Amino acid sequence: MTIENLSSNKSFDGWHKQYSHHSDTLGCAMRFAIYLPPQASASQRVPVLYWLSGLTCTDENFMQKAGAQRVAAQLGMAIVAPDTSPRGDAVADDDGYDLGQGAGFYVNATREPWKRHYRMYDYVLDELPTLVESNFPVSDRRAIAGHSMGGHGSLVLALRNPDRYTSVSAFSPIANPSNCPWGRKALTAYLGGDAARWADYDASLLMCRAQDGVPALVDQGDADEFVAEQLKPETLEAAAAASGYPLQLHRRDGYDHSYFFVASFIEQHLRFHARHLGL
C-alpha cells in the first residue's frame, strides 16, 4: 500500500509525521498521523497506542493539543491517530456536526447512503494496523484509547477484540450510545432503526456481557457539560459491576470535555498502557 508523507516534525528526539493513503476499506483517501519515539529503528520495533478522536476532530487534535509526545518518547511507545471518518466530495455527509464527515462513530454502516464509505470499525481494526506495521518500525503489540466519540470507539474495539489489544482507555467516552441523543442519531442512520443491531457498538452493553477482557481505564470530568445526557459513565460502572470487568473509572473534580482535560491526565493513561504493553 502506497502512503504519502505530508509533514514531518521532530519532537522529543522522535518524529511526528502525517501521511495520506488510499483506503480500500473506506473507498477514499485517508489521513493519519504517527509519532515515532527515538527508540524506534530498523533494529527495534516499538509497540503502538492507537488514538481515536471525537466528533468534529481529525488526526491533528490529539497530536497537537494533548502533549503526549514527551512521555511517549520516554516510554518508547508509538502513537497512531487516524481521522474520525472518511472524507471527500464523493463521501456522504450531513448538515449536522454529529453525523457524516467528522462523525464516523467507528462503526461499519449497513444503510444507504453511508455503507459505501463508513466502515471505520474495519479500518481501525484491520487496514490501518496492517498499513502501519508494514511501513514503520513498530510491532504488533497494540493498545487503544480515545476521547468522547473516540472513547466509545476504543472501548467497543477492545471489548469485541480482546486478542488484538493489551489495554484500553478513554476520556469522557460515549458509554451507552443506544441510550443518548448522539448515539441514537448516528446508530439509526448508519445501522437502521432496529436497536438490537446497535448492541455490538455499545460499550456498556458489551461490557455487561463480557466473559473476559483487557484492562480498561476511564477518566470522566464532573464539570463536563455532556456527562448526564450524552456520556452516561454510570452505565459503564454498572456493566463492570455486573460482569466483573477490570475497569478503573475515575471522576475528576472540575474538569470539562476539552483537551485541557485530556492533557491533564494523558501521562497516567500512557503509563497505564505501557505497563500492559510490557514497557
Catalogue the active-site residues.
148, 224, 257
Residue with cell 481521522: 83
d(CA 1, CA 193): 36
Q: Which of 54, 53, 52, 67 is nearest to 16 (CA)?
A: 67
Rounded CA-CA distance 59/7 in Å is 13
Q: Which residues contact 212 (CB under 8 A, 6 or more apart)?
A: 162
Q: Which grid coordinates belong to 176?
A: 451507552
At residue 269's C-alpha, the angle toward residues 264 and 273, to 5°, is 165
- Chain centre to alpha carbon of residue 32: 12
Residues composing the chain: 279
